[in-house]
Amino acid sequence: MSFNFDNSYATLPEHWFEKSKPTPLKDTHLISFNAPLAQQLGLNPCDWTPSKLVSAFTSETLLEGLDPLAMKYTGHQFGVYNPDLGDGRGLLLGEHLSPDGLRWDLHLKGAGQTRYSRFADGRAVLRSSIREFLVSEAMHGLGIPTTRALAIFGSEQYTMRNGAEPCAMVLRVTPCHIRFGHFEYFYYSRQHDDLQLLADYVIERYYPEFQQATNPYLAMYQEVVKRSANLVALWQSYGFVHGVMNTDNMSIIGESFDYGPFTFMDRYEPDHIANKNDHQGRYAFSNQPSMMQWNLAALAQSLLPLIPKEELEKVLEGYAELYFNAFYAQMRARLALPGSGLEHRELIDQFLNLLAELGGDLNRAIRLLVEEQPLGDAIGIQEGAADAFSDWLVRYQEAKQREPSSLNSRVETAKSKNPVYTLRNYMCQEAIRDAQDGDYRKVNDLLALVREPTKFSKSMAEYAGTPPDWAAGIMLTCSS
C-alpha cells in the first residue's frame, strides 16, 4: 500500500497557518529508516528506497497528495507568554490514513524558514536530530506515549550553532501536532470563535466519544489532564527529564513531544537540570509534576470562553491524585510488588530517597532487584551504600513475597517494564560523533537496541552497565 492522504488541518481557516514547501538541503541523504513504523502505517518498507524517501519528503516536488503548512501557535516559555511562536523550522506535510483507519501527521523538522522563523534559519542540526530520532523510539519501547520518527536525513549543508554544524531533517510521525499553545494563541489574541472551532476539531479528531457529552469541552479537558498526569508519572518512574516543558511543547493528546535537552538520569538526582539554559531550575526533574500542572492551568485559562471557571478549577484540583495514583502504580509494577501502588508509597519513597542519597541508578537498580542479581554500584557510588540499603532490602523482600500465588506473574510483568538498556546521553553522543564523520552504523544499532529495551543483546552488552566517567561531563542546552 502507498500513502493515503487526507489533509484535514489544511481545510481549516487560512490564518491558522502558512502554506510553505520545504527548502531542500545540499546533497540530502538518508541516515536511517524506521521500517517497523512504516509497517504500522500500512507501508511496505521494501518499496521505499533511500532516494525515493529523500525525493518524497525533503524536496520541492514532494510526494503527490502532501499539502505542507507551518502551524501558528503561541505559548508560555519558562513561565513567560510569547505571542511570536509557530512552526519556525518544521512543516506539517500532510495526514496519512492507515489501513486500520488511524490518521497520522507527517511532519518534517528542519525544513527551512517559514513566516514564524523570526530571525532563525529554519534548520535543525544533525546533533539534535539524532537525539530526537533515537529518544522517540526509546520512549515507545518503554511504553511511554510519544511522537515517533519515520526517517532521519543528513546533508552536506552546514549552519552555525556550536560552531559550524551539519544540517539534518527528521520526519516525525504522530496522530497530533496540536499543542496547548494552539489554544493559547486564539485565547490571547481574542479570536474566541476560532478557539471554539479548534476545540471542535480536536474533539472530532481525537476525542469523538465526548461529542455527545453535556459539555464536550469540559470532557476534553478532563481527558487531557488525565493523560498529562499519566505521562509525567511515567517520566518520573523512568528517571526521564524533558528539559523544556513550555506550553508550546505540550501535546493535547498527552504524548512526549518536541525533544530538546532530554536526559535519562545516569544517577538518581531529584534536582537534576537537563537544560543548562534553565538557570533557575524551573524544569528540574523533581519539578516536572508541578510544571505539568502549571501548564494544564495555562490551558485551562485558554478554555475559559468555553468552560466555566469553577468547573475547570475542580478538574485541575484532581490532578495531584491522578498523578500519584499513576506514579505509584507504575513503580509498584516495576518492583513486582502486590496490591495497589499507594499501599507501598512509603517503601517506594524510601527506595528513591536512598538512591538520591547514595547516587544510585534508578533503572539498573530496579531491574537487578526484580531479577535478584547482585546490585553492585547500581544502588549507589557512596562508600557503604550496600549497608545503608540492607534494611530497606529486607522490607522490600517481605513486601514482594506477600501473596506468593501472584509472584511469578508480577515478576514477569516487571521484567516487561524494566529496561536492560536505557538511552543514555553518552550513547547518543557516540552516535553523533560517528555520524558527524559520516558513519551512521551506531545510529541504526542504537535504534534497534532501544526499540526492544528489555531484550539483552550480547553485542551491545556494554550499554547495559555503568555509564563511563566522561558521561557526567556532557552539557546540554536548548540547541540540543
Catalytic positions:
248
Is the separation of the CB atoms in 185 and 201 below 8 Å? Answer: no
CA dihedral 197, 198, 201, 202 (to 10 degrees): -150
What are residue 232's phi and psi, to 5 degrees? Answer: -70, -30
DSSP characters over 38-59: HHHTT--GGG--HHHHHHHHHS
Contacts of 322 (CB under 8 A, 6+ apart): 225, 226, 229, 230
Upper half-sphere CA count for residue 369 (Cβ side, 13 Å): 32
Instruction: Using alpha carbons, select from 150, 155, 174 the residue that is nearest to residue 45.
Output: 150
CA dihedral 143, 442, 158, 92 (to 10 degrees): -30
Q: Which residues pair with 105 in a beta bridge?
A: 95, 174
CA distance 147 to 133: 10
Instruction: Using alpha carbons, select from 267, 272, 275 the residue that is nearest to residue 249.
Output: 275
Contacts of 463 (CB under 8 A, 6+ apart): 421, 424, 427, 449
Contacts of 282 (CB under 8 A, 6+ apart): 78, 79, 291
Instruction: Using alpha carbons, select from 379, 357, 356 the residue that is nearest to residue 369.
Output: 379
Contacts of 471 (CB under 8 A, 6+ apart): 266, 424, 425, 426, 429
What are residue 476's phi and psi, to 5 degrees? Answer: -120, 145
What are residue 401's phi and psi, to 5 degrees? Answer: -80, -10
* Surface-to-core class of residue 157, CB atoms within 10 Å of its CB (0-12 exposed, 13-18 middle, 19+ buried): middle
**34-38: long-range contacts at Cβ-Cβ below 8 A with a sequence spacing of 24 or more?**
34/137, 34/148, 34/149, 34/150, 34/151, 34/447, 36/451, 37/148, 37/149, 37/150, 37/173, 38/150
CA distance 184 to 74: 6
Q: Which amino acid is at 360?
A: G
* Surface-to-core class of residue 215, CB atoms within 10 Å of its CB (0-12 exposed, 13-18 middle, 19+ buried): middle
Assign residue 192 a region: left if phi > 0, alpha if psi is -120 to 50, beta otherwise? alpha
CA distance 5 to 96: 5
